[in-house]
Structures are given as C-alpha cells and as structure tokens.
Amino acid sequence: MMAATNGFASSDLEKSEELKAAANVAFQAHRFSRAVDLYTKAIELNADNAVLYANRAFAHTRLEEYGSAIADATKSIECNPKYVKGYYRRGAAYLAMGKMKEALKDFRQVCKIVPKDPDAMKKLKECEKAVAKAKFEEAIALDSQSVATTLDYRTIEVEDSYQGARIEDKITLEFVKKMMDDFKNQKSLHKRYAYQILLQTHELLTVTPTLVDITIPPNGHFTVCGDIHGQFYDLLNIFQLNGLPSEENPYLFNGDFVDRGSFSVECIFTLFAFKCLYPTGLYLSRGNHESKSMNKIYGFDGEVKTKFNDTMSEMFTEVFCCLPLANVINGKIFVVHGGLFSSDGVKLSDIRAINRFREPPDEGLMSEILWSDPHDGIGRIPSKRGVGVAFGSDVTKRFLQDNNLDLVVRSHEVKDEGYEETHDGKLITVFSAPNYCDQMGNMGAFIRFEAPDLKPKFTTFSAVPHPAIRPMQYANNFFSMLA
C-alpha cells in the first residue's frame, strides 16, 4: 500500500512540489496569472502546505488582487502560525490597500517570531513611521485651508533664467505643445504655470456633473483610453497614432492617470492642460489611483514632492476629489473606471446624486465604481482586490436594460492585447499602458467610436522607449515591503 503523509499520498506530494517549482519559474518570468494557476493545482494536492498559500499570495499581490492575497496569507498562517512569510505577505497586501494599522499588526508579529531579523525590524520601523505620519497628517488636515481658495499663482515670480513653456495670458495650443516637448526632454514646468493649470482645472471640474453626458455629433468620432499610469512617453505615442485632443478629435481618459509609472507629473499636466484648452475636447474620469492613499503608496505623491513641493501635492489631492465618476456617450455607452455594483437596481440618477467631492470610501456606489471588476460567470462574487465586487454577465445585462444602455466600457485591469470584450460583447475593458511597469509585456489599446453606429474600433500599440527611470522611482520607502 502507498505511504501517505497527513492524508496525502506521497505521489501527490511529489507532484505538488513539481507544480510549485513550475509556479516559481512562472513567477520569476512575471507570468503571475500562470503562477497562480500552478500554485492552485499544487494546493489541490497538498492543502496543508503554508508555503504554497504564501507563494500564491505573493503572485496575487503582483496582480493587484489584494483581497485574494490576504485570504491566502491568512490560510498560510492557519496552516503554520509560525511561518513568517504568511505574516509578511498579508502585511504587504494590507499595505498595498492603504490599511496601515492592519499591516502594522502583521509586521509586529513577524518581529515576535524572528526578533533578531534586521530586515523584519527595518520593515516594522518603516510601517510604524507611516502610521504615525498618517495620524499627524489627518490631524493637521482638520485645521488646514483649501489650497485652491488661498493660493494666488500670479504672485509667484518666474525667473529670467527659466527657459521652459510660458503662459502669457491664457493656456494656448502653442504652450501645451512646448510643455510636452519640454517634458519629453526631461525639462520641468515652472511652478507658477503648474499652479495655474491646476487651479483652472479645479474650477472646471467643480462645476462638472458627477456623471457627464457626452454627445458625438453625426459623422463625428470619439476616443476612449484606459489607464496610462504615469507612462508619459506612451501617452505621447497615443497622440502620435490618433492625433492631439481637440474639439474635433475628442478623448476620454478613463482614470488612473498617475502612480506606478515615474512620469506621472508629466502625464497629468498634459491631460489637465488639454482639459483647460478644450473643455469638450478632453474628458476625464476618476480612477482608484486618483486618491490620497494610493498616491502615497504608489509613487505620485513622492514624485510631486520631488519635482515641486508639498503644497502642489495638496493641490492635486483637491483636484482629484473633483473628478467625475462616470460618463455616458450618446445616451448608450456607459464608461466608468472600475465597474458595476453590489446590488441591482442602480440607476444613472443614483450615480448623478453621489457626493464625489471627497476621498473614496471603503464601500458603496463610489467605491464600486472605482474598484469593481467583471468575472466570467454569473452573479456576484467577492472581489479579488478586497474592495468593490466582481460582477457577472447577468449583472451587466440587467444594468444596461435598467438604464436603456447598450454597452459598458471600463478600464482598471491589464489585458494582454490592451483590451478585452466579455459578457457577450456587452462589456469592454481597455488598458492604455503597454508593458505595464516595464515588466508585464502587454499591449496598450484605445477605442474609437464613430457616430451614428458607435461600433468600437480598437487600435493596439506596443510600448515605446523612455528615459532610464524605473517605475515606482518615487514610491515610499516602505513599498519595499511589497517585494
């Protein structure tokens, strides 16, 4: 009779180890979805192995599936309460979600298990500093005044030595082109003009509805782009392929303009300048990364403070809280960054009524708009991200029927070809950051709709070279805990 260990045949354990080794190879090759699949098969053969759950948690973290990472890390800890990496992985996933207090508990537990480990102590101290800093910032925020209402950019002097783009009276196309060319050559925009762009954008967005109705005239066209995540040189390539934004060549950028990529400042000033120049030539939706908690973790906050100052970072926070949450094109195409909702019956009027002028909450319609994802089945299941919900094809179809719509367009997820059509053609995901984070190898894409039929036409493109500045260059020190 074949020997068994903990109820598993020795042949199963050997096969599980083989699958684990293959999963490790896939992970090292940045094939994280493949790694998850292989770890899952290994777990099916050896369900009490803490290492397998911790490894799968790490792969989920790289896929930004933090809810699944927390669940796996918790299972790893249940299998072996003294397995350090289980706490590491769960703490890292909490950290990635901005849940500093929960992360701190796990890193403290790591130090209890391995009290003399210098790396563990370093991570604990970084996490403690982050929690203390967050408390301090919350306290002073209660007494601080709005930058938008107190700043006068006209009092800021422009030095004679400044050779970059200048706004003489108002933002012009010549200024925007010069600014983009300066950015391309890694030159900075003067803070006077940076504040001017931000204040004008703030003024425009403040009076913009939470749900924006966009009209494409007969024989007109409209382009929808997904996440660009600070990949400025790929943004320039989109404009090279499809033309600059204008009233005749309008765009919608569907959230996640910043973070991860280390040219987020250049991306956001380019988009905001075009928004000021052509208010109906460029539309913007808020993404989950247009938020203070994400910006502090994934690099934008650090980038703004490095290239400008703390006040500029506060100004961006205020502007991001004014961004619309959704758009409807010709009354038929619903465009939103994340996805749909945890319950049926949500009407467009409910979305219009959301109080969006705030940081995103942990739950509710606003949170789900920014964080939800589709899944391949029917009904609703917990989100792999730990925020929002995963919704099936039946949910999409009911939402469209309830609101007399034809199509949902969303972004929020990397796709190998830059886009994906699912839910029987009723839902499209578009992602416009090719070779995401310089490692995913994916294509980027954008969608062009032409009136009156509004059939989607896809353009895919590869990443273009950029200066040797790595993604996450400006991320917080404690981001190393995610590695």
Q: Do 42 and 155 fall into the same domain? A: no
Q: Do 56 and 181 fall into the same domain? A: no
CA–CA dist 392, 23 (Å, integer): 28
Count the neighbouring beta carbons within 10 Å of the beta carbon of residue 480.
14
Least confident of 86-90, 253-257, 269-273: 86-90
CA–CA dist 86, 241 (Å, integer): 46
The stretch 200-226 carries a mean pLDDT of 97
Please give the C-alpha separations between residue 110 and each of 77, 88, 128, 146, in angstroms, as whole numbers.
Answer: 11, 7, 14, 40
Give the dihedral sign, CA 416/58/360/372. positive
Q: What is the DSSP code string of 409-447?
A: EE--S--TTSEEEETTTTEEEEB--TTGGGTS-PPEEEE
- Is residue 221 part of the annotated active site? The answer reads no
Q: Do 181 and 69 fall into the same domain? A: no
The distance of Cα 225 from the centroid of its chain, to the nearest Å, equals 14
CA–CA dist 206, 323 (Å, integer): 8
Banded model confidence at residue 117, pLDDT cuts 50, 70, 90: confident
Return the bridge partners of 321, or none: none
For residue 483, what pLDDT is reported? 57
Q: Do 130 and 167 fall into the same domain? A: no
Say whether pLDDT at 207 is over 70: yes
Question: What angle, rounded to 10 degrees, do the helices at 32-45 and 10-28 form?
Answer: 170
Q: Do 189 and 336 fall into the same domain? A: yes
Return the bridge partners of 273, or none: none
- Could you tell me if 114 and 106 are in contact, meaning their C-beta atoms sit under 8 angstroms apart? no
pLDDT digits (tens, 9 = 90+) for 430-468: 999 999 999 999 999 999 999 999 999 999 999 999 999
Return the bridge partners of 420, or none: 429
DSSP 156: S
Q: What is the separation, in whole angstroms, between the first and last Cα of the chain?
A: 44
Banded model confidence at residue 1, pLDDT cuts 50, 70, 90: very low
- Could you tell me if 414 and 393 are in contact, meaning their C-beta atoms sit under 8 angstroms apart? no
Q: What count of residues does the chain have?
A: 483
Instruction: Tell which of 121, 140, 159 closes a domain.
Output: 140
The stretch 348-373 carries a mean pLDDT of 97
Q: Do 8 and 126 fall into the same domain? A: yes
Say whether pLDDT at 141 is over 50: yes
Say whether pLDDT at 482 is over 70: no
Residue in 60, 190, 202, 289 annotated catalytic: 289
pLDDT digits (tens, 9 = 90+) for 272-320: 999 999 999 999 999 999 999 999 999 999 999 999 999 999 999 999 9
Say whether pLDDT at 26 is over 50: yes
CA–CA dist 93, 88 (Å, integer): 9
For residue 479, what pLDDT is reported? 58
* Placement of tokens 């949500």 in the chain: 346
Q: Do 50 and 163 fall into the same domain? A: no
Say whether pLDDT at 159 is over 60: yes
The stretch 164-185 carries a mean pLDDT of 97
Q: Do 103 and 217 fall into the same domain? A: no
For residue 119, what pLDDT is reported? 79
CA–CA dist 14, 177 (Å, integer): 61
Say whether pLDDT at 212 is over 60: yes
Instruction: Tell which of 107, 140, 173 closes a domain.
Output: 140
Say whether pLDDT at 3 is over 50: no
CA–CA dist 358, 160 (Å, integer): 39
Banded model confidence at residue 137, pLDDT cuts 50, 70, 90: confident
Count the neighbouring beta carbons within 10 Å of the beta carbon of residue 143.
6
Banded model confidence at residue 99, pLDDT cuts 50, 70, 90: confident
Q: Which two tokens stand for residue 266?
A: 């250049």
For residue 130, what pLDDT is reported? 76
CA–CA dist 40, 433 (Å, integer): 29
CA–CA dist 438, 314 (Å, integer): 29
Q: Do 296 and 419 fall into the same domain? A: yes
Q: Do 461 and 416 fall into the same domain? A: yes
CA–CA dist 419, 446 (Å, integer): 8
Question: What angle, rounded to 10 degrees, do the helices at 300-307 and 310-320 form?
Answer: 140
Q: Do 130 and 160 fall into the same domain? A: no
Q: Do 434 and 335 fall into the same domain? A: yes
Kindly report the backbone phi and psi dihedral angles of residue 371, in degrees, each rounded to the nearest multiple of 5, phi listed first: -120, -20
Least confident of 91-100, 120-129, 192-201: 120-129
For residue 136, what pLDDT is reported? 75
Q: Which two tokens stand for residue 340?
A: 């749909």
Say whether pLDDT at 2 is over 70: no
Instruction: Tell which of 105, 140, 175 closes a domain.
Output: 140
17's enclosing H/E stretch is helix 10-28
DSSP 331: T
The number of domains in the chain is 2
Please give the C-alpha separations between residue 223 and each of 72, 134, 332, 456, in angstroms, as whole numbers.
Answer: 39, 39, 15, 9
For residue 334, what pLDDT is reported? 98
CA–CA dist 195, 189 (Å, integer): 10
- With b meaning 16 or more CB within 10 Å and e meaning fewer, what string describes 232-258? bbbbbbbeeebebbeeebbbbbbbbbb
DSSP 281: T
Beta-carbon contacts of residue 302 (< 8 Å; ≥ 6 apart): 474, 475, 476
Summary mean pLDDT of the chain:
93
CATH number at residue 106: 1.25.40.10
CATH number at residue 258: 3.60.21.10
State the residue range of the domain holding 401: 149-482
For residue 462, what pLDDT is reported? 98
The stretch 332-353 carries a mean pLDDT of 98
pTM above 0.95, yes or no: no
Q: What is the DSSP code string of 351-410?
A: HHT---SSSPPSSSHHHHHHH-EE-SSSSEEE-TTSSSEEE-HHHHHHHHHHTT--EEEE
CA–CA dist 323, 74 (Å, integer): 36
- Could you tell me if 256 and 229 are in contact, meaning their C-beta atoms sit under 8 angstroms apart? yes
